[in-house]
Each structure stands twice: as C-alpha cells, then as structure tokens.
Amino acid sequence: MGGVALFFFLATIVITSHAEEIPQQIHLLRLYTGAAGNKIPGLNCLSWRLAVETDNIRDWRVVPEKCEDYVGHYMLGKQYRKDCDTVAYAAIEYAESVKPADDGKDIWVFDIDETTLSNLPYYARPQVAFGAKAYNSTAFNEWVADAKAPPIPGSLMLYNRLVSLGFKIVFLTGTGEPVRQARITNLKKAGYYTWEKLILKQISERGTTSVVYKSKKRAELEAAGYRIIGNVGDQWSDLLGTNVGNRTFKVPDPILADNLIGINGSRTCQCE
C-alpha cells in the first residue's frame, strides 16, 4: 500500500510541478491554485462533481471539457484519497459494531473497478483525459487484461480489517468472464489475497443493466444462505436495486458514476 500512496503522491508532484517532464502516457493538467472548481467561468466543477456523486446529474457521457483539469487534479491529489479513506473509516466503524456469526455466512460485497482497484493510471492517459474523451472499450479492456491496476488504499485498509474481523469477502463485478484470470492476478497483486467468491458477468448476461444484474447476484447469494452485512461500490448501480445488504457505502468516482455505461447498460466492454 505504501507503493500505491507513493504513486499518487509522485503523480501529483510531477503533474503540478514539472509539467514539461511529464511522460506521454500521463495527461497534461494546467496548473492552478486555490479552490478547484471556482476558476471556470459559467461552470462550477466542484458543484458538478457533487451533483454527479449524489446522482442528481445523470445520463452524461463524458466529463465536461471545462472540468477536465478539475477532475484530474482531484483524482491525483490528496482530496480523493481522503474522501476514499473517509468511506473506509465509516465502514470499519460499522463493521466493528457487528459480530460475525460462527457459520461463516456473514459477507461483505465489494465492486472492483474504482472501488477496490484504481484505473487511474489508465484515466491519466492523454487519450482518456480523466473521462473528458469518449470512452474506448477496446483500450480499456486491454488495460484490464494487463492486470496492473493498483489498489485504492482506503479500500484495501477496509478489506484487511474486514478479513481480520472474520467477514467473508465477495467481489461482485460487471467484468466479463473472459478476463477472470486477469482479475484474479490483479486482485492478488494489489493485496486482496483471499475471498469467498469472485462473481463476474457471463456472456449470456451482457446487455443486462448493472442494477438488475447485481440485484440478481445478491439475491442468489442470500438464497444460498449468505447475509450481506456491507456493500461497497463507486457507482449508484452497485448500491441500488434489491438485496443491497444491511449497509451500503459509496466510494467517490466523478469519472464514471454510472454515466459511461448509459441508462440501457449499453457499454460494450468486459468491465463495468
């Protein structure tokens, strides 16, 4: 985890202090100081991000061009890490108030992308521009297959605490079955070394909206006797629907927030 924190710290320093030395794979961000979001005439990007996170602004396809730098600075800076940590601390506090039963059926459900694993190195590429460029499913699937996504430090901290408390972990993701081995490799490399189940979307389930798909899988878990104590995701579709569990926790994510998938679940990638 120390290496991941160092990556985010160094990325911030490189982008804000040595723009002329930034390698081509890192998207260039314009330097500014002060409260982010108040520097763009006619559009307050901090308010836009809040509205996205609270699901008040929906059905957008790309990050507004004027908010590209704001989102980049937020994701690479300290605030994003602090926001993720806040979610983790709240979840840990709740988990510590619950004593898992001895039957091993108390589970904690985690999404993967932007919840347990961070695709920030991919989103920092110029051709992606932190979500300000149109989504490219081929390029993203290639990134997933490389299995190089680092963990989100707060989520890894939460995961380790949950395991130590005796909860079983279930990863429930829209990632397609063809990249199962890449997901296993990436999770273990990032520090998520054990779990009860890793549920991926089957070919027959493609086209199913995330809310419907994840509700069905959670219902199947409960039908098998599991009790969903906690549920963590970065998108509202991870946390809405049926059988959501006793408590839900949303990790911040202004880049996706359900909108690159579209209201009909039409995103054509192996990973959702």
pLDDT in tens, 242-259: 999 999 999 998 886 544
C-alpha–C-alpha distance, residues 255 and 52, integer Å: 9
Cβ atoms within 10 Å of 62's Cβ, excluding its own: 17
Least Cα distance to 152 among 200, 109, 190, 198 occurs for 190
Q: Which pLDDT does position 37 carry in this prediction? A: 40
C-alpha–C-alpha distance, residues 83 and 88, integer Å: 9
Cβ atoms within 10 Å of 61's Cβ, excluding its own: 10
Least Cα distance to 112 among 58, 152, 148, 85 occurs for 152
pLDDT (tens digit per residue) in 170-194: 999 998 999 999 999 999 999 999 9
- Asked if 86 and 78 touch (Cβ cutoff 8 Å), the reply is no
How distant, in Å, are the alpha carbons of 43, 121, 137, 140, 206 from that of 69? Answer: 13, 15, 23, 21, 33
DSSP 187: H
pLDDT (tens digit per residue) in 83-134: 999 999 999 999 999 999 999 999 999 999 999 999 999 988 888 888 888 8
pTM: 0.80
DSSP β-ladder status, 227-233 and 197-201 = unpaired
Band of the pLDDT at 143, cuts 50, 70, 90?
A: very high
Pick 45-250's CATH classification: 3.40.640.10, 3.60.60.10, 3.40.50.1000, 3.40.50.720.
3.40.50.1000
Q: Compute the C-alpha angle 179/185/189, nearest 5°.
A: 145
Question: Helix, strand, coil: what percent of the chain each, to 5?
Answer: 45, 10, 45
Q: Which pLDDT does position 78 carry in this prediction? A: 92
pLDDT exceeds cutoff 80 at 265:
no
Show me where the domains of the chain are located.
Answer: 45-250
The encoded tokens of residue 114 equal 């932007």
The encoded tokens of residue 236 equal 């509202």
pLDDT (tens digit per residue) in 37-73: 444 455 688 888 888 888 888 777 788 888 888 888 8
Band of the pLDDT at 14, cuts 50, 70, 90?
A: very low
How distant, in Å, are the alpha carbons of 70, 158, 178, 199, 224 from that of 218? Answer: 35, 20, 21, 10, 10
The encoded tokens of residue 156 equal 């890894």
